[in-house]
Amino acid sequence: MTMMYARPKNSRIFQAYKLVKTLFKVFKNREEVLLGRILIPYLKGILEKKNVFLVSASKFSTPQYFFDEPCLTEMTARFMESFSRHLSRYRVFYAMKSNSFAGICRRLVAEGLGLDVSSGSELARALSLDCREIIFSGPGKTDEELRLAVQHRSRVTLLMDSLGELQRVSHILKQEPVQGEPLRAGIRIRHQEGWSKFGIPLDDLGLFLKRAGEVRGLDPQGIQVHSSWNLDPGPQAEIIRRIGIHLSRNLPEGLLKSLKFLDIGGGFWPEQGEWLNAQNTLWGKLIQAVDSDFELGPGHYYRKACSIEDFAEQIAGTYLQQGPPLSNLELWMEPGRWLSHSAMHILLSVVDKKGKDMVITDGGTNLLGWERPLSEFIPLINLTRPSLTEHRVRVFGSLCTPHDVWGYSIFGKDVRVGDVIIVPDQGAYTYSLSQSFIKPKARVIQYGGESLREVEEEGLKDFGIRSSNV
């Protein structure tokens, strides 16, 4: 009898096989060069509002966040229209973490969206903004945060993260008066590699729903799942399919009856795609891993993304294709980045010029909250001397750290002290992360289509939650 042995996973041959596979993956998924046919229309689009930006900079000075409210409204309408074409029953909750500025949240609530919050302070903010439909998700919710959700259960659906959280909610519900409606709830399913701290395995869904159904004052109604950074709807479609199959094969009728929604989270990437500097492409990373001194060129690269219309068609198509029981549920979504990214820009002025190829601006990357321009390519435009031609100029912020870099080139005829520069499309994951590090946070100027006004960040009610300064 011959015995077959599996080759040990740490054998040289296996390692070499894995390396070849990785190299093949890098080659197959390599980023494309960001060509002028993509970049130029983008720059032209930003420059259409050049005069408004310049008026705003001169009237309110820089640095400033420029909140473009009509753009937010337009993006929202496009998102909703795309899904309305395919689905009659769906709900959208804006993921407040992507930009918690009250003006943005208020506008979206006025457009009929709910808010997706992930902490007690975000929940307090959503309640202050009079939002009627709030979903509260996230791991490690404190008792204080859970209690706030319980107290405002007419407006909040709690998306639970674990059996432990269910136990604590059950305890809190026993302490709170149980008059009126029960607390609506859902459970988050874990699914993405690297996101193992979230939710429960899909195989535990039945057990969770059974236990949750036994808690007095709790109404478990749905399932939540989130996949991030989706350049196309593939990952969302895949999870819909997985859940559809699981529900029809594994959940008994009694538990299925309680379900009303499937929330697929956010992760819709804006259609301009992901724009990268050379060092953040897969090739760039590989080359630098081999030779850290290797100087990569100044080129720009990108990964393609689908339009929201394509997202809607594929997500809705997959969803409807599953048939009951899945298609009986209402589809919920939690977009953040897609709605907020183009609704806010940063305006800066040049305060110093050090030779031909280096300028210092009056705002630092504390306004972004992270060193985003070191990895992503953000086209800086000189609004005072605009041009579609790119010039090599190092553009720094004024923080006392060498990592405070806005970019290595600028679109403009020249750049001089006093020129106004726009850092476009900085609405997502910047304002909420900004910090007063060395320099203070910047003011927000709201553009309403006709008028410009400075908007103070509102002192919203904290509902007894500590440090509600989101």
Does position 470 interact with ligand PLP (CB under 6 A)? The reply is no
Residues 6+ apart with CB under 8 A from 241: 318, 322
Does position 334 interact with ligand PLP (CB under 6 A)? The reply is yes
Does position 362 interact with ligand PLP (CB under 6 A)? The reply is no
Stretch that binds ligand PLP, among 33-41, 334-342, 343-351, 432-440 (CB under 6 A): 334-342
Residue 400 three-state SS: coil
Q: To the nearest whole angstrom, how small is the minimum distance from the Cβ of residue 206 to ligand PLP?
A: 22
* For ligand PLP, the closer CB: 310 or 357: 310
Q: To the nearest whole angstrom, how small is the minimum distance from the Cβ of residue 161 to ligand PLP?
A: 10
Interaction with ligand PLP in 86-145: which residues (CB under 6 A)?
95, 97-98, 116, 137
Q: To the nearest whole angstrom, how small is the minimum distance from the Cβ of residue 417 to ligand PLP?
A: 37
Q: To the nearest whole angstrom, how small is the minimum distance from the Cβ of residue 90 to ligand PLP?
A: 15
Alpha helices in 65-221 (DSSP H): 69-84, 102-110, 120-128, 143-151, 163-175, 205-213
Q: To the nearest whole angstrom, how small is the minimum distance from the Cβ of residue 304 to ligand PLP?
A: 17
Does position 228 interact with ligand PLP (CB under 6 A)? The reply is yes
37, two tokens: 């046919």
Residue 97 three-state SS: helix
* For ligand PLP, the closer CB: 228 or 327: 228
Does position 265 interact with ligand PLP (CB under 6 A)? The reply is yes
* For ligand PLP, the closer CB: 92 or 367: 92
Q: To the nearest whole angstrom, how small is the minimum distance from the Cβ of residue 95 to ligand PLP?
A: 3
Question: What is the distance between the terminal CA atoms of the chain, rounded to a whole angstrom?
Answer: 68
Q: Which of 217, 222, 235, 267 touches ligand PLP by CB under 6 A?
A: 267
- Among candidate residues 239, 248, 268, 215, the one with its CA nearest the CA of residue 98: 268
- Among candidate residues 374, 400, 266, 308, the one with its CA nearest the CA of residue 74: 308
* For ligand PLP, the closer CB: 137 or 277: 137
Given a contact cutoff of 8 angstroms between Cβ atoms, the answer to whether 327 and 410 are in contact is no
Does position 384 interact with ligand PLP (CB under 6 A)? The reply is no
Q: How far is CA 253 from the centre of its chain?
A: 36
Q: Which of 125, 153, 184, 337 touches ligand PLP by CB under 6 A?
A: 337
Q: To the nearest whole angstrom, how small is the minimum distance from the Cβ of residue 421 to ligand PLP?
A: 26
Q: To the nearest whole angstrom, how small is the minimum distance from the Cβ of residue 319 to ligand PLP?
A: 18
Does position 199 interact with ligand PLP (CB under 6 A)? The reply is no
* For ligand PLP, the closer CB: 151 or 228: 228
Residue 23: what residue type?
L
242, two tokens: 């997985």
What is the b/e burial string over 414-446, where b = at least 16 CB atoms within 10 angstroms of the residue's CB? ebeeebbbbbbbbbbbbbbbbeebebebbebbb
- Among candidate residues 333, 348, 268, the one with its CA nearest the CA of residue 306: 268
- The H or E element that residue 340 is part of is helix 337-340
Q: Which of 268, 302, 311, 411 touches ligand PLP by CB under 6 A?
A: 268
Residue 451 three-state SS: coil
Residue 442: what residue type?
A
Does position 226 interact with ligand PLP (CB under 6 A)? The reply is yes
Q: To the nearest whole angstrom, how small is the minimum distance from the Cβ of residue 97 to ligand PLP?
A: 6
CA distance 197 to 193: 10
Q: To the nearest whole angstrom, how small is the minimum distance from the Cβ of residue 194 to ligand PLP?
A: 12
How many residues bind to ligand PLP according to rule CB under 6 A? 16
Residue 87 three-state SS: coil
φ, ψ of residue 49 to 5 degrees: the values are: -105, 20
Stretch that binds ligand PLP, among 308-316, 329-337, 344-352, 389-397 (CB under 6 A): 329-337
Residues lying near ligand PLP in the complex (CB under 6 A) are found at: 95, 97-98, 116, 137, 226, 228, 265-268, 334-338
